Structure 1
């Protein structure tokens, strides 16, 4: 009779761990549904996970820029709508005063028996007073006609303002609907990236530089502690070029001071940023107002070639101009990468270079 043997446990570093990892990744891929069919992708390697996560972050960044642009337009529309309504209210008050004046004229005519002023004067016993009064009545009639014409013009202007306000309100509602759709797109892609990252062991996330939300605090602390050291190292090596202006230098200094700040889509500081929000805040600190989105920021200054780059220049990435950083010299930039990492220093070679702009 064969003896029953208890199977020995296998090390977590062996095939069992790899199998569990593959199953976890398959579940994450199923939940993500990249191609819309929601089927499992059972054999994702850590490198493939990184590629998918990077792609999701890039798509989320592109959607974030669209969101930022729509939000900026929405704010402008709200301001225009408020201005139109205020102007319509002021003109309505003026119209009411003009109507009151016309009402007083009508009441006076009624009290006088409804007779035409010229007829009343014609019955006067004093011809000289008749002639003087006739001229006065003509002037009074002209003023009354002008008052009526003024009221009509004010009515037309108020209706024009109200029509413009209706158009502006319709546009505002459309932009708000666009904001809602884009917000859903962004959160969906970020959630998919989080699910994929959650399937990776912590050591793999660390090795691939995908800290995820759970590792953001530690990464922020490391980036913050290394910020001044990185700047000092660049300067000590003599490879840190001079900024072309004091304002560019101030923007770079601000960016250094924000190393370690978390990435939050749609944020413009002072404690969290998305990529274009960091750039906008840095130059705002230097007294320069920049547009909100990467698409507009690239045209906010003078284009420069990669070989001309100097500290403070804005460097843009991807064919859709969906990411931006602030060049600091020695092939390095400071940028807000994505939710897996805080504001940090990175080589400009880590993403497809699309162009550069010098603001001042």
Structure 2
């Protein structure tokens, strides 16, 4: 597959403004809530207005913490799906094992009854009184066979019972693990919402014009970093790592300008790992869902070896990811209020580079 044509952007232009956020608190109450959530409130100017740059720094921190919680929530959701499927399968095995055990017990009852009917008298006495010794010996042989079959059935039942008990214990353990994961999922979602409310409260302490200015400034600074001081973004001519990587690059480039939404995997909105997941799906490859799992979803390489299509994992805890598209540039979904965009690979600390 041919590498998609490299975009050459005209002079720096502001990305679209932040997506409209619902006003959840009055300005005074919102600012108070934000101060309680963050380590320290933004300093106000003499007129009582908060400093917008300090607000931005605190909002960026809250967005980073929300993304960390969001990735934990996404991982918990994936674990919950897996555990539910495993628990359901184990419960099906328990039912099948119980049915087989019931059938074996019924068969054993039949063997016991036949043995009782054939062997009610001591075998030595029966042989002495028998008018047909040869016939008796044949029947005695059948009786011994019944005994062996009964012993074999007993051993089979014991083994089946042990297997059934093990399956039941495994199913119970899976269900307990599932419950713990669902609890963790609920806590992570609450943390995401708390961080978002804190960020919104801080933003609400600014005027609408200041919020728009901050969003435009954030987008413009990202574009400047990606252009590295030039008047345009140049992705270079380096080929993708593979045909599928080229398809993933084409897909991610087609999503530039899409809004960031936590937990989203497209096609209209994305979080950071959701953008990678969707883009590679368009190339026929199913990636793990979270950035931490994506960090182990392929071959580790150095940043110097990066080629278009490689995943770049950011921060020590690997809570953010973008796709390398050439020229020292990644495409990523940054944070709420921003849109999928170009960014310099050096704008954030790189934890790993992964070739899918």
Superposed pair shares fold, TM > 0.5: yes
Q: Which position in structure 2 is the counterpart of 1:28?
A: 30
Gaps of 5+ in 1: 1-23, 213-218, 220-232
- SS of the counterpart of 1:267? coil
Indicate the SS of the match to 2:281: helix
Establish whether residue 200 from structure 1 lines up as the match of residue 206 from structure 2.
Answer: yes
Matched, 1:294 2:288: no
Give the whole-Å Cα distance in 2 for the aligned partners of 1:198 and 1:306: 39
In the other structure, the counterpart of 1:184 is 190
CA contact (8 A) 2:311 2:323 kept: yes
Q: Which residue of 1 aligns with 2:240?
A: 243
Give the structure with the higher percent helix.
1
Gaps of at least 5 residues in structure 2 are: 1-25, 220-231
CA separation of 1:148 and 1:300: change in aligned 2, threshold 3 A: same
Q: Does 1:355 align with 2:342?
A: no
Q: Deviations over 1:79-112 (max 9, x none)?
A: 22112111111111111111121222344456x3
- Following TM superposition, by how much is the alpha carbon of 1:67 offset from its aligned partner in structure 2, in angstroms? 1.4
What SS class does the counterpart of residue 206 from structure 1 fall into? helix
Structure 2 CA distance for aligned equivalents of residues 156 and 116 of structure 1: 35
TM-score, normalization by structure 1: 0.78
Q: Does 2:327 correspond to 1:330?
A: yes
Structure 2: how far apart are the matches of 1:99 and 1:127? 34
Counterpart of 2:215 in 1: which secondary structure?
Answer: coil
C-alpha displacement at 1:139, in angstroms? 1.0
Alpha-carbon contact 2:115-2:147 (below 8 Å) kept: no
Instruction: Please give the per-residue CA displacement for 1:108-157, whole angstroms capped at 9, x wherever unaligned.
Output: 456x3871594796353211111212111111110011112211211111
Name the CA shift for 1:239/1:67 in 2 (closer, same or farther; >3 Å).
Answer: same
Shift in Å, 1:158: 0.5
Q: 1:308 to 1:203 in 2, by over 3 A?
A: farther
Tell me how far 1:340 sits from its aligned partner. 1.0
Aligned residue pair count: 314
1:73-152 maps to which residues of 2 (within 5 A)? Answer: 73-108=79-114, 112=117, 115=120, 118=123, 122=127, 123-152=129-158
| Contact residue 265 and residue 271 of structure 2 kept, 8 A | yes
Q: Counterpart in 2 of 1:8?
A: none
Aligned to 1:262: 259
Residue 308 (structure 2) aligns with: 311
- Change in CA separation of 1:202 and 1:276 when aligned onto 2, cut-off 3 Å: same
Alignment match of 1:172 (pick from 171, 178, 187): 178
Query: Which structure ranks higher in relative contact order (CA pairs < 8 Å, sequence separation ≥ 6)?
Result: 2
Measured at CA, do residues 117 and 334 of structure 1 come closer, stay the same or move farther in structure 2, by a change above 3 Å? Answer: farther
* TM-score, with structure 2 as normaliser: 0.79
Counterpart for residue 281 of structure 1: 278
Question: Which range moved further: 187-196 or 284-293?
Answer: 284-293
1:233-279 per-position Cα deviation (integer Å, ceiling 9, x unaligned): 86xx6724221210111111111222333322222233332111211
Contact 1:67 1:179 in 2 (8 A): yes
1:107 to 1:182, Cα distance in 2 relative to 1, 3 A:
same
Deviation at 1:25, TM superposition (A): 7.0
Distance in 2 (CA, whole Å) between partners of 1:254 and 1:109 is: 74
Per the alignment, do residues 264 and 113 of structure 1 end up closer, same or farther by CA in structure 2, a change over 3 Å counting? same
